[in-house]
Chains A and B, each alone.
Chain A
Amino acid sequence: MSAIQISDIRKSYSTLRALDGVSLSIEPGEFFGLLGPNGAGKTTLISIIAGLIRANSGTVTVMGHDVQTDYRAARSQLGVVPQELVFDPFFTVRETLRMQLGYYGLKRNDAWIDEIMENLDLTNKADTNMRALSGGMKRRVLVAQALVHKPPVIVLDEPTAGVDVELRQTLWKFVGRLNREGHTIVLTTHYLEEAQALCSRIAMLKAGRVVALDTTDALLKQVAGSQLKLRLSGAPLPESLKPLQIPLESTYTALRINHNEEIEPILACLRQSGCIVEDLQLQQADLEDVFLQIMDGSNA
C-alpha cells in the first residue's frame, strides 16, 4: 500500500489547466520532494491530497483511503503544513495545539504537545497569543499543528519560505527524526539544495504535468558530470575544447567534464595553445542544474 497514490488527477480553473493528468505514488517511509516553478500546480496537488480542493477527475488515496469517499480516514492519516502563514488570533500557542488535537478526535495529550513544542523551540512561547509571535515562530506553530495528531504522512508546503537559518535547521532535524521513525514526508520547496540534501526521490512538475520522477541520485546523474570553470588569458579557447563549453555569462569559461581524469589533458591542451589559466574551479552538478535543464525542456 502506498502512503499517497495519485492517479490521473486533473483540475482546471475556468481557462487555466492547473493539473493535467498527474499520476505518482509515494511509498511509506519515503522523503519525497515535489518541485516545480511557481504556478506548476504543486499547491493545487497538495490541496487535493488534503481534501481542500476537489479534482475534476482522478483519484487520490492516503494510506489506502480515498480522500473523497473515505475522507475521514484519509485526513486522520495526513498532517499538512500550509504554505500561507495563517493563525487564529484569539488563542495562545498551547490552546491552538490542544484544539488542533481535538479536531482530530483525539483526547488531550499535553505530554506530546510539550514534546513537539520542545522540539520546535516553542516551549517558552506556549502561553503567548498567536498575534504576538514573529513570522518564524508562527511558522513553527503551523508545523506543530500538522504533527499534533501523529500522522503517518506529513506534507510540508514550502515550510522554509522566508524563515531564518536557525529555524530551518531545527525543522529539518525534527522532520528528519520523524522520517527515521517511519513517517512519510512530502516536501515542496524552492530551495533546491534542501531537496537534494533531504529527499530520496523527487517529482518535478511543470504546467500541471509530471516532467521528471526519479530518485535524487538518478536525477543528478542525468546531468553529465561536473563543470570545470577557468579564467583564461593569453589566447582564445582552442577549437578542440569548444564542444565541451557550457554557455556562461561570466568572465569564466565553463567546460563540461565527466571525470576528474579529464582535467589534466584539458590543461595540457590549453598550455599548447598559449592559454594562461589564471584561476580554476571544479563544480559538481547539483539539483539546480537538473531542475533548470528539465524546466528548459532540454535533458542533454
Chain B
Amino acid sequence: MKSYLRCGVPCLAVLALALAFSWPAGAQEKEYTIKVMPPGGPAPRLPNGRPDLSGHWFPNGAGEGVSGRFGVDPAALSTFDPKVTPEERPAFQPWALAKIKSMTPTELELSKSSVNCMPRGVPAIWLQNPYTTLMVHKPDMLVQLYEVLNNWRVIHLDGRPLPKYPEPLFHGNSSARWDGDTLVVESIGFDDRTYIMPNGWFHSDELKVTERYSRPSMNYLFVEITVDDPKVLEKPWKSAARRWTLGNGEVYEFYCTNNKDLDELLKLRELELKQGK
C-alpha cells in the first residue's frame, strides 16, 4: 500500500472507495450501527477550480463521534491503519533519543497537551487530536477551527513566502501552494513547548513542517505530514495519509477551565521523586 503514497490523489481516491465499500450488504452491516462512510461523490470545487476543503471533519472513518459509543465498526475508528499504510519510526539523533528516554512515564504524561492544556500546535493537531476540525475554505484563505481548546488557524493562499525572521508560534508561520489538486502548506517558526507526538517527540528551532491536504471525494479528507528537523532527526519523517471524514453536528466549545489531571499528576510525580523514581 505504500505505493499509493507516491501516486497521489488518484490513489487516495481508490483508498477512500476501498475503505467505504469494505463490506458488502450482509451480517456486519447489521451488526454495526456506526459504519464507514461511503465516498459521497466528487469533491466540491471553489470558483477558481481548486478542490474545496470546507467541511466539519472527524478524525475517523465514520463522519461522527466514535469514542465512548457502542456498535462502531472497527474499520471506522481511526485515521489510518499502520498495517495498511505503515509509518516509518522517526529516526532520532542519539542525543534526542536519550533525552526522550530519560523521561519518566509521569513526566511524559505531563508533557502532553491533552493533560497540560497547552495548544497542540502544528503538526500535532493532525497527528494526535481526537476532536473535530471545521474548515472554511475560500480562494485566498483556509480557516481551520479546531474544536480542541477552541484553537484556530488561518492559512493564507495568496502565495506569500515564509518570513525571514519567523515568530515562534504554536501553529507556525505558513506558506501555501497547490500541487495539482493537493494543497501543500510549509511552515516554520514553532513554539518550543509543542510536541510532534505525545510520546516525548520534541522539536528544535529548525523544525519545518509540510502538510499535504487532498479531498479525493466529498466525504474524505486526507492529510499527510512531513517533519523535517535536522537538529533532532537523522532524516525527515513522513506520516501516513491520515483520513478525516465529513460529518454534521455541532463544533463544541472546549475551554480547558477545570484541569484536575495536571494537579493529580504533579502530586504523583512528587510521590515518585520521594520513592527515588
Determine if chain A interacts with chain B.
no
Interface residues of B (CB under 8 A from A): none
Mark A residues whose CB is within 8 Å of B. Answer: none
